[in-house]
Amino acid sequence: MTIIRIDPQDRWSEAVIHNNVIYYTSVPSHLIHDAYEQTKSALAEIDKILASTNSDKSHILDVTIFLVNKSDFQAMNKAWDEWVAKGSAPVRCTMQAGLMNPDYLVEIKIVAAIKN
């Protein structure tokens, strides 16, 4: 049983792969105070990690989206709907959460399969 940790630090790893499954939490790299733009940014980061681990958004199995403000749900969904692989949408839930970085409006946690 092999566990691969991508860019491990003392406190966390960028991503973890186990049994051909990728575990990753995305945060926006562009911290504009706009939930739509932050969601697009976080989704772009997901695309990058999936490409680097031989996967893509059609292989995402499960998503948890953390939003600071319930009022941003529509803006987040707009970015999500533009991005998600049509016909291959994963299981998804969205939660309101107080995120530790006060500049973040959204964080997205995914579980994805590696392509065969």
Is 16 part of any domain? no
Reported as a single tens digit per residue, the pLDDT across 62-83 is 999 999 999 999 999 999 999 9
Helix (H) or strand (E) holding 6: strand 3-6
User: Total structural domains in the chain?
Assistant: 1
Is 52 part of any domain? yes
Is 20 part of any domain? no
Reported as a single tens digit per residue, the pLDDT across 4-24 is 999 999 999 999 999 999 999
CATH code (residue 47): 3.30.1330.40
Is 14 part of any domain? no
Phi, psi (degrees; rounded to nearest 5) at 52:
-75, -10
In three state form, how does the secondary structure of 7-67 look?
A: CCCCCCCCEEEECCEEEEEECCCCCCCCHHHHHHHHHHHHHHHHHHCCCCHHHEEEEEEEE
Full domain range(s) for residue 51: 25-113
Is 8 part of any domain? no
Q: What is the mean pLDDT of the chain?
A: 96
Is 64 part of any domain? yes
Q: Look at residue 105 and tell me whether its pLDDT is greater than 80.
A: yes
